[in-house]
Amino acid sequence: MLKIENLHVRLEEGGKEIIKGLDLTVGAGEVHAVMGPNGSGKSTLSYALSGRDGYEVTAGTAMMGDVDLLAIDPEARAAAGLFLAFQYPVEIPGVSNMVFLRTALNAQRKAQGRPGYSSAQFLKLIREKAATLDIDADMLKRAVNVGFSGGEKKRNEILQMAVLEPMMCILDETDSGLDVDAMKLVAHGVNALRAQDRSFLVITHYQRLLDHIKPDVVHIMADGRIIRTGGPELALEVENNGYADILREVA
Amino acid sequence: MALANLKQEATGTRLAAAVVPPGGVWATQARRAALARVAEMGLPGRRDEYWRFTNPETLNAVQAPEAAAFDAGDEAPAFADVARLRVVFVDGVFDAAQSDDLSGEGLEIARLADVAQSDIHWARDLFGVLEAGGQHPVPRPLAALNTATATDGVVIRATSVVERPVELVLQHRDADSDVALHHVIRVEDGASLTLLESGAGAARLNTVAEVDLGHGAQFHHIRVQGRDHDRRAVTGLFARIAEGAVFKSFTLTFNGRLTRNEVVMDITGDDANAHVAGVALGDGRAFHHDDTVFVTHGALAGESRQVFKKVLRNGATGVFQGKILVRPGAQKTDGYQISQSLLLDGDSTFIAKPELEIWADDVKCSHGSTSGAIDEQALYYLRSRGVPLVEAQDLLVLAFVAEALEEIADERLADDLRGRLEGWLNRHRG
């Protein structure tokens, strides 16, 4: 589903290299976790994959199926099935959540050559999806993420994922700023989306999210590379011993 | 001294060319008095405090610069979905064939050209009166010139709640038309009226509307100025707002070489509301748009709002000058003022001059002004969800102007304008 080879990314401002030859392959229907200490390049990886300005790919490839992600605009990546759940969801005053979601969904469907949703069809769809994430009508009417609590913002990200039904989902520290109940709700939303043809890359600092979203594979990232790959037990090892041991081993 | 002489000269030349239309005694007196006001004030000059950011030269000139009429193609006319009474002027000339029958329930409506011939008419107490009252402390010579020379316009009296809006359809055909229209509107106690206005009206258009609201009266004004690229317009809206009355005016402006919209709102009764709002979208160096507002709170617990948004690109210029004056004793006044611009590139300019003058001690007045670019983070967020760049930009522009559009009470009318905004953005991409 996602195949990253020898990826190098640097910040346009200052030119500092953050990702330094990263290889990562996620198979269809799999859940992979990427863990690593602060500053290891986890968020940069998610931005580079989704096409954020300011992150320059200097070498390497990132293929999603047969789509060359790095060759196309962010909106085309999304239409091809890539979704990034933001660590810090952006507030958009003046645009209601409903309008935002419908615009995004219909834009993607148009790009895919499929018919758009009418207002009535969309309303039905959104109500179903929102109910499972405990998102009420008021949250849908309000401007995108404006005045939302941390938990509401993250649930809103998962709602977008549920509505857009991407093939490849990247969750960038979705657990940050969440209490246990909110995390369970978010994890439940993600688990409900797990499918044969949908893959997940879960970026997190902590094991605790992985208690709820069980990964098939765990990668440890440090200094812009994957330094160790293993099963779920690797996350437990990090939880118990921290990153220091692994980093020392590799060094 | 040179500038002062220049101003005197411009005034003299224009006044010499001014023609006072024929009329009855009261109308002629009012027009002559207005002409005298212009002579006394002089036409606007660059040294005048409220003309520092807008060059009045082409508004002052005897000859109006040419402007080709705009071809809107197959686009539906403004407010097409709303049942309304249409009064059509083509380059300032009343067009009976295109207009509806000038009558309606709770409504007296006539042309100024006819009314001005009469010996006695209620409009006598308002014609040129509210305009003259609005000349202090800030002179508005082009409005006085309008009173003196306007050949036509509408005179409307609403005596009850008028359901069907009146629309002034101002069509522009001739490239060298120079038009002054003057409207007098009285909304009686407890009555209400919606006035719509659309079109460029002329190559150079000067309009004045004097609006007098009785106790508890309501007046809603929604205007779409013509899209003709080279047109020039100077408009003056003078409102006197009595106890418990509501005055609301909204203007949407696309294109135009020069637009100066002046609004003078005078709150004379307690618990009255004075709201004025506008959205202007300009593309190109030739675009210059100026909102100049003066609100006077002269009574208790008045509420005023000024909400202006301008979207500027490719070297366009926007100006906002807004003043709130709270007179001694006008306690519990609530005045709000916001002017914002969205600059879509580094070339465009927005100038804002907010002013507060407060002579009462128990009032709430706030003002704010911002100028900024499209929010890059929001743009990326939208794109990451599959919304193409141009659509994402449009969505953010619409979001930016949303607050001003919300000032329109009637949702149908607001939707009509929203559709027009989307259309304009569609045509001005890239």
**What are B138-161's pLDDT values in tens digits?**
999 999 999 999 999 999 999 999
Q: Please name the member of A83, A86, A103 whose beta carbon is closest to the beta carbon of B387.
A: A103
Question: Once rounded to an integer, what is the mean pLDDT over residues A121-130?
Answer: 92
Residues of B in contact with A51 (CB under 8 A): 383-384
Q: Please name the member of A73, A92, A93 whose beta carbon is closest to the beta carbon of B381.
A: A92
Residues of A in contact with B403 (CB under 8 A): 94
Q: Which residue of A has its CA nearest to B381?
A: A90
Q: Do B386 and A73 touch (CB under 8 A)?
A: no
Q: pLDDT at position A133, please?
A: 82
Q: pLDDT at position B430, please?
A: 57
Q: pLDDT at position B3, please?
A: 63
Number of structural domains chain B divides into = 1
Complex confidence, ipTM: 0.96
Q: pLDDT at position A250, please?
A: 74
Q: Do A90 and B391 touch (CB under 8 A)?
A: no
Q: How far apart are CA B111 and CA B151, in angstroms?
A: 10
pLDDT confidence bin for A251, thresholds 50/70/90: low
Which candidate, B235, B247, B245, places its Cα nearest to that of B150? B235
> What percentage of residues in chain A have a pLDDT greater than 90?
80
Q: Is A15 exposed, middle or buried (0-12, 13-18, 19+ CB in 10 A)?
A: exposed
Q: pLDDT at position B2, please?
A: 62
Overall residue count recorded for chain A in this entry: 251
Mean pLDDT by 10 residues, chain B (430 residues): 72 93 96 97 94 96 94 87 96 98 96 96 97 97 98 98 97 97 98 98 98 98 94 98 98 96 98 98 96 98 98 97 98 98 94 97 96 95 97 95 94 93 83
Q: Do A90 and B386 touch (CB under 8 A)?
A: no
Q: How far apart are CA B208 and CA B229, in angstroms?
A: 22
Secondary structure (DSSP) of B42-101: -S--TTSGGGSSS--HHHHSSSPPP-PPP--TTPPPTTTTS--EEEEEETTEE-TTTSPP
Q: Please name the member of A79, A90, A107 whose beta carbon is closest to the beta carbon of B391.
A: A107
Which of B377, B381, B407 to probe by mutation at the A interface, max A CB count within 10 Å?
B381
Q: Which residue of A has its CA nearest to B390?
A: A75
Using DSSP bridges, classify how beta strands B273-283 and B303-313 pair: parallel, antiparallel or unpaired. parallel
Q: Is A95 exposed, middle or buried (0-12, 13-18, 19+ CB in 10 A)?
A: buried
Q: Is residue B164 assigned to a domain?
A: yes
Q: Please name the member of A75, A86, A92 whose beta carbon is closest to the beta carbon of B386.
A: A75
- R_g of chain B computed on alpha carbons: 21
Using DSSP bridges, classify how beta strands A143-144 and A92-96 pair: parallel, antiparallel or unpaired. antiparallel
Residues of B in contact with A74 (CB under 8 A): 380, 383-384
Q: Do A111 and B386 touch (CB under 8 A)?
A: yes
Residues of A in contact with B384 (CB under 8 A): 50-52, 74-75, 77-78, 83-84, 86
Task: Please answer whether residues B407 and B305 qualify as being in contact, where contact means their C-beta atoms are separated by less than 8 angstroms.
Answer: yes
Count how many pairs of residues, chain A against chain B, have C-beta atoms within 8 Å. 79
pLDDT tens-digit series, residues A178-214: 888 889 988 999 999 999 999 999 999 888 899 999 9
Using DSSP bridges, classify how beta strands A2-11 and A55-64 pair: parallel, antiparallel or unpaired. antiparallel
Return the SS3 of A133. coil
Q: pLDDT at position B22, please?
A: 94
Q: pLDDT at position B75, please?
A: 83
Q: Please name the member of A90, A107, A143 whose beta carbon is closest to the beta carbon of B387.
A: A107
Q: Do B377 and A90 touch (CB under 8 A)?
A: yes
> How many Cα neighbours within 13 Å face the side chain of B412?
10
Question: What is the pTM assigned to this prediction?
Answer: 0.91
Q: Do B396 and A93 touch (CB under 8 A)?
A: no
Q: Please name the member of A74, A79, A143 whose beta carbon is closest to the beta carbon of B380.
A: A74
Secondary structure (DSSP) of B97-143: TTSPPS-BTTEEEEEHHHHTTSS--GGGGTTTHHHHHTTSSS--HHH
Handedness of CA B115, B118, B124, B127 (dihedral sign): positive
Q: Do A111 and B382 touch (CB under 8 A)?
A: no
Return the SS3 of A3. strand
Which candidate, B221, B152, B215, B213, places its Cα nearest to that of B186? B213
Using DSSP bridges, classify how beta strands A225-230 and A217-222 pair: parallel, antiparallel or unpaired. antiparallel
pLDDT tens-digit series, residues A11-60: 999 999 999 999 999 999 999 999 999 899 999 999 999 999 999 999 99
Q: Do A86 and B381 touch (CB under 8 A)?
A: yes
Q: Is residue B185 assigned to a domain?
A: yes
CA distance A143 to chain B (A): 10
Domain holding B108, by residue range, is 2-374
Q: Is residue B93 assigned to a domain?
A: yes
Task: Please answer whether residues B417 and B224 qualify as being in contact, where contact means their C-beta atoms are separated by less than 8 angstroms.
Answer: yes
Using the Cβ of B400 and the Cβ atoms of chain A, whether some distance falls under 8 Å is answered with yes
Q: What are the strands, taking DSSP E only, across chain A?
A: 2-11, 17-26, 31-35, 55-64, 67-68, 82-85, 92-96, 143-144, 168-172, 199-204, 217-222, 225-230
Q: Which residue of A has its CA nearest to B403?
A: A94
Q: Is residue B382 assigned to a domain?
A: no
CA distance B321 to chain A (A): 25
Q: Please name the member of A90, A99, A107 whose beta carbon is closest to the beta carbon of B386.
A: A107
Question: Once rounded to an integer, what is the mean pLDDT over residues A105-131?
Answer: 93
Q: Is residue B318 assigned to a domain?
A: yes
Q: Is residue B251 assigned to a domain?
A: yes
Residues of A in contact with B400 (CB under 8 A): 94
Q: Do B381 and A90 touch (CB under 8 A)?
A: yes
Q: Is residue B166 assigned to a domain?
A: yes
Q: Please name the member of A52, A99, A160 whose beta carbon is closest to the beta carbon of B385.
A: A160
Which of B338, B370, B384 to probe by mutation at the A interface, max A CB count within 10 Å?
B384
Helix pair A180-193, A150-164: axis angle to 10 deg: 0
Q: How far apart are CA A249 and CA B286, in angstroms?
A: 67
Q: pLDDT at position B6, please?
A: 74
Q: Is residue B75 assigned to a domain?
A: yes
Using the Cβ of B383 and the Cβ atoms of chain A, whether some distance falls under 8 Å is answered with yes
Main-chain phi, psi angles of B156, to 5 degrees: -125, 135
> How many Cα neighbours within 13 Å face the side chain of B103?
1
Q: Do B385 and A100 touch (CB under 8 A)?
A: yes
- R_g of chain A computed on alpha carbons: 18
